[in-house]
């Protein structure tokens, strides 16, 4: 809600300003020249202080950026290390399984060959016995 507009004052009358308690709410602006002059040394000291503060801020920000970048690089390196370990363990398990399958295949083959040799022997014996008759 907008404050009510004040009607234009006729010339020669002073406008009254609102007060809060005993205080006048008007801004009091005093020119610098009435406060006295600021010395050259004070101005140079203030400039040097501001420059020193900005240099310090730049150093702090650069250090923080380096810490963040180092943290990210370290984390990515850790992820690569863990992934490499996982791949190596998977390869080791796969090689063990391949060796196990090879041994099982050899055992199955030798079992089949033994079974075939057992079944062939009686027929060979039968043929040899029949040939002798």
pTM summary value:
0.42
Residues 6+ apart with CB under 8 A from 64: none
d(CA 44, CA 42): 5
pLDDT value for 35: 55
Contact by Cβ (8 Å): 18, 25: yes
Per-residue pLDDT of the chain (133 residues; tens, 9 = 90+): 455 555 555 565 555 555 556 665 555 555 555 555 777 887 888 888 877 788 888 999 999 999 999 999 999 999 999 999 999 999 999 999 999 999 999 888 888 877 777 666 556 666 666 666 6
């Amino acid at each position: 809600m907008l404050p009510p507009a004040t009607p234009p004052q006729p010339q020669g009358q002073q406008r009254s300003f609102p007060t809060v308690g005993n205080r006048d709410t008007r801004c009091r602006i005093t020119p610098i020249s009435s406060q006295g002059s600021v010395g050259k040394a004070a101005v140079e000291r203030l400039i040097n202080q501001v420059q020193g503060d900005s240099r310090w801020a730049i150093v702090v920000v650069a250090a923080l950026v380096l810490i963040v970048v180092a943290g990210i690089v370290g984390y990515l390196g850790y992820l690569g290390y863990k992934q490499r370990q996982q791949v190596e363990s998977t390869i080791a398990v796969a090689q063990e399984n391949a060796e196990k399958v090879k041994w099982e295949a050899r055992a199955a083959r030798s079992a089949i060959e033994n079974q075939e040799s057992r079944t062939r022997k009686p027929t060979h014996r039968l043929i040899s016995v029949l040939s002798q008759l």
